[in-house]
Amino acid sequence: MAVGLLAAAPAGAEDQGTAGFQPPVVTVPSVLPETPFFYKVDASTAINRSDENPTIQRLRRRLGPLSAVPSATPDHWEVAYAQNGKPVGLTFVDPQTGKVTEAWTGAQVIWPMARGYTGQFGHILNAPYVWIPLALVFFFGLFDLRRWRRLAHLDLLFLLSFGISQIYFNDGEIGVSAPLVYVPLVYLFGRMAWIGFKGRGSGLGRRSRSPG
């Protein structure tokens, strides 16, 4: 029985260490802002709820110790996380329930337009039900039915494929949106290079000589 307890002890300690792992500490200002009279949640609770958010916990595990500064807006708490003075995280906390409604890291901390908010770019023209039909009109308006195998049709498709990146950008998925831009860019660069080299030696640009 003693042997069994000794054998089980390391495993139990390991499980406890894994389950009890805590991200690095977060330092806060010595004086927190006062709670607005219509708020039910104070600044300290807003920080604690933010620290428990999965997005912020992953950030803390990855970067280590951070500082958190809360501030009250007319409708929510904002908890700004920084490391060595550089903004690295941001959360919005509901002042009535204490629930984290938004959590951002990376470029989305300082660039609200990358968060997928509706109407940031183009307003209604950026809506899929507007630009997708316009893209179809653009494609089929230039499509040559008599020579449907033209490579120019593939060029049109790659030009319109920027819209795939736009869809993810509008949803705030910039980690997916940005790499997708390189696919049509690489294709179009290759096409321009191919057209440029193909034009050499073809007589284009040569001056015609008048007889005599």
Phi, psi dihedral angles at 72 (to 5 degrees): -100, 130
> What percentage of the chain has pLDDT greater than the value 70?
76
Q: Do 99 and 135 lie in a common domain?
A: no
Residue 101 structural domain: 24-110
Token pair listed for 7 = 């054998």
For the beta carbon of residue 18, count every other beta carbon within 10 angstroms.
8
DSSP character at residue 108: G
201 inside domain: no
Of the listed ranges 32-41, 63-72, 80-89, 115-124, the one predicted with least confidence: 115-124
Strands in 77-83's sheet, in edge-to-edge order, are: 26-27, 66-72, 77-83, 86-93, 100-105
Residue 116 resides in a domain: no
Question: Which 3 state secondary structure label does DSSP give 62?
Answer: helix
Is the pLDDT reported for residue 90 higher than 50? yes
Is 33 in the same domain as 103? yes
- For residue 25 the two structure tokens come to 């500490």
Q: Is there a domain that residue 211 lies in?
A: no
pLDDT in tens, 104-150: 898 888 877 767 666 556 566 777 788 788 888 888 888 888 888 88
The whole-model pTM stands at 0.58
Count of structural domains within the chain: 2
Last residue of a domain, one of 51, 78, 110: 110
Whether 81 has a pLDDT exceeding 80, the answer reads yes
Q: What is the mean pLDDT of residues 72-77?
A: 93
Last residue of a domain, one of 67, 84, 110: 110
What would the DSSP string read from start to end of 6-27? HHHHHHHHHHHHHHT--PPPEE
Torsion angle defined by CA atoms of residues 186, 116, 131 and 142, in that order, rounded to the nearest 10 degrees = 0
**What does the mean pLDDT of the chain come to?**
79
- pLDDT bin (cut points 50, 70, 90) of residue 202 is very low
Q: Which two tokens stand for residue 95?
A: 């002042």
Verify that 185 and 161 share a domain, yes or no: yes
Q: Is residue 13 part of a domain?
A: no
Statement to judge: residues 147 and 172 lie in one domain: yes
Residues 127, 96, single domain; the answer is: no
Residues 85 and 152 in one domain: no
